[in-house]
Structure 1
Amino acid sequence: MKLDIEKTAFDFDGVVADTFRTFIDIARLKYGLDIDYEHITEYDFMNIIDARREAVEDIIETLTHRPHEVNIRPNKGAAEVLPKISSKTGLLLVTARPYSEPVLLWFKRHFPQIDPACIKVFATGDSTKKLPVLKEHGIKYFVDDRLDTCYMLEKADIIPVVYNQPWNKDHHPFYCVNDWVDIAYILGL
């Protein structure tokens, strides 16, 4: 599979940023919780982890509003690939987060070499609201880690690419990538 770099957009959490590993790190350090990353086999992970709702909500609040202050690392290969993409066409990220500013601050911290004018982040507040943004920007390909979103996009003629994570291992018909090295390859970088 080859993607048109100018018609490709990306999700943030689980694709660009390794948010769920940071969730696990905070859960262990702050609350003494022992969560195995590979056991997060559902996107709605509250169904499968043994943790108090208040603790989970506190961690999610931190990750949502202050990702630039906690050590959310870029996913494997992103540090090398994202600057290449931004220099060719700019970055378009469409996230279900409620606000774009924390994501932009995260980019400023982790990718100071990328001109902020080359980064567009659309925070939809809900994964079902990603579709209108992608259509409005003429996006043909979208890299996401949530299978429900991928099925929704496929019905609207946007080709989803699944970023492999433990929660999307169910059988599905979509092309998969394991890291940003794979993404660079299908973008021809």
Structure 2
Amino acid sequence: MLQAQATEELLILVDESDRQVGVAEKLQAHLDGKLHRAFSIFVMNSQGELLLQKRAKAKYHSGGLWTNTCCSHPRPNETLESACDRRLQEEMGFSCQLKALFSFVYHANLDRGLIEHEYDHVFLGNYEGSPTPNPEEVEDWQWMGLEALQIDIRQNPQHYTYWLRECLDRFLEIAGNHKGIIPMGN
């Protein structure tokens, strides 16, 4: 199952400046810890809540953990913007306008002997309503206030993905400077 999920797709390998240096099968890139291009989408509502998803248990890594709205990888010859729109639709069942906020690189040892080494581009969007998630991708979802999320991550880090824990503070700082685009609560 792990093999089938992660070898069908190719990832874009990059250097520390996000310049493409090759491609690799998804599973092999995660076994070898190769630096690859990725994105993380944070969708807020007008109450200043973040849409979280709980990754399906069957995911090839980090299954059953809560994370930001959507995370994935662009395919070779696919723009980040197109990939974000595709995966948000595939995982959560909706689209919304997204704004690039920042990028960061991280390296983490994950479950199942996999290594996540990503050049992660973070995007911010706004959506009002209930998503219709794909059950093969998403086990559960919830809107959560940012302060409550910060507290819960501090108290229960094991319930959240590494990349969400790694970038949340920076996201909050930068997203707070975009209040005209995304309301951040009262």
Instruction: Tell me the TM-score normalized by structure 1.
Output: 0.23
Higher strand share goes to which structure? Answer: 2
Larger helix fraction of residues = 1
